[in-house]
Chains A and B, each alone.
Chain A
Amino acid sequence: MMAVTLRVNDREYTRTVEPRTLLVHFLRDELRLTGTHWGCDTSNCGTCVVLMDGEPVKSCTVLAATASRYAVRTVEGLEGEQGLDPVQLGFAAEHGLQCGFCTPGMLMSARALLDRMAARGSAGGNPLPTDAEIREAISGQICRCTGYTTIVRSIRWAAEHSGEEAHP
């Protein structure tokens, strides 16, 4: 057993776990942050995606011990004082989910994409992702309900609406 300290959604947690504990199980079973879903277990489906230092990773294929070097952000960390994150609002507005199983991973990859687009916008580039860029960003994730079209539309909605906030 070993003590692992993780910074998740700006809070620090220490738990004593086996070294083989994967990040997804640390989040779900130790911290009871069950918003992160556990799917294929083989780094294919992407429902377990969380952010480490702002970049999406598949938490079924990262040891919790490795993640302790990074700031982890999960779907529970999306909602802020201003209310829901634009990506969450986008998925509601454009019907980006049906059963909801893939949604936490999709939301986190979308958040990382939009953060990257904001940085590109600040550097003088286009702050809005193209549909091809949105599709590429979620290409490591599987949805069996929507056919992806409404997910792409939801992320585009979020990009267009975060633009308004960032550049009033």
Chain B
Amino acid sequence: MQVPAAFEYERASSVEHALGLLAQLGPGARLLAGGHSLLPMMKLRLASPAYVIDIDPLVSELGYVREHGDEVRIGAMTRHRELLESPLLREKLAIFTDAERVIADPVVRNRGTIGGALCQADPSEDLSAVCAAVGASIVIRGLDSERVVPIEAFGRGPYRTAVGDAEMVTEIRVPLRAGSGSAYEKLDRRAGDWAVAAAGVSVTLTDGLIERAGIALAAVGAGTRSAEAEAALAGRPPSQEAFEQAAAAAADGARPVSDQRGSARYKRHLAGVLVLRALNRAAERATR
């Protein structure tokens, strides 16, 4: 039987309330969003917070996907299912729709949130790679502060983020660029499992040339963005040759480890294959 260690329970009714509780209760307090990352960690006693601040009611304040100028803004309490079913994301940022189809299972997607997933910062977590590929920014709030952190500066290694003890993620901002297409490719062993490897890609075409490419990997080690792969595409027309070079560069930069999901050699090969597939789909969507 897996049971979390004992804790004191608080429920926050607003962002202000949650931030006030965090400041008051100190570093022993943790926010509980959808619970599908933190509760399993608590059952395994990998996390033993003294206080759990339940922010489930904040779904009404922070559950949204909306267009705002040249960005799409996603509230941190938006559940996976809302992301999967969002017509706006399907039309303009299909990489989210691709990824959500293969994140966990429909029942888990009813509870888990984007903010919770990003804050767990598991190296195999899909939305971190999605956000890296599209160049998202993360809004982090404290009682008297608000910071907008680029995704590259958000992750601080496995299970560590830029979010301070008395802070919380409130929003994810994704830039909309004309002429863009994006895609996510993941291989898992069975429905709902973590990735063996996964690749997220976003390309922006201007006058027939690749102006910007974002390429990110999940579950294969190292940082999520692949700068070498992105550089292999910048300024070139989209072509199979260019895509294959970028895929090879991404595979070279991966640092997978051998485990029950596959050997390091296999995962490295897979990373290249998935990047190539994602590039083809993203480019097709960019020209549609």
Contact = CB atoms under 8 A, between A and B. Distances in A.
Interface of A: 2, 18-20, 22, 41-44, 46, 49, 55-58, 61-63, 65-66, 69, 109, 136-137, 139-141
Contact of A137 (B9, B39, B106): B106
A137 to B, nearest CB: 6
Contacts of B104: 140
A20 B107 contact: no
B108 interface: yes
A22 B32 CA distance: 14
Contacts of A19: 6-9, 52
Contacts of A2: 9
A61 B36 CA distance: 6
Given A63-B35, A69-B56, A140-B192, A43 B108 contact: yes
A49 B54 contact: no
A57 B57 contact: no
Nearest to A139: B191
A140 B108 CA distance: 8
B153 interface: no
Contacts of B2: 41-42
A65 B9 contact: yes
Nearest to B191: A139
Most buried by A among B32, B40, B43, B110: B110
A65 B54 contact: yes
A20 B192 contact: no
A139 B32 contact: no
Nearest to A46: B107
A58 B8 contact: no
A16 B6 CA distance: 15
Contacts of A41: 1-2, 43
Contacts of B8: 19
B5 interface: yes
A40 B5 CA distance: 19
30 contacts: A2-B9, A19-B8, A19-B9, A20-B5, A20-B6, A20-B42, A22-B3, A22-B39, A41-B2, A41-B43, A42-B40, A43-B36, A43-B40, A46-B105, A55-B110, A56-B107, A57-B107, A57-B110, A58-B108, A61-B36, A61-B39, A63-B9, A63-B39, A139-B105, A139-B192, A140-B104, A140-B106, A140-B192, A141-B105, A141-B107
Nearest to A108: B107
A53 to B, nearest CB: 10
B106 A65 contact: no
Interface string B1-17: 11111111101000000
Most central of A19, A56, A61, A136 by chain B CB within 10 Å: A61
B35 A62 contact: yes
Contacts of A139: 105-106, 191-192
Given A18-B6, A20-B5, A42-B2, A56 B110 contact: yes
A20 B7 contact: yes
Interface string B37-68: 00110110000000010101100000000000
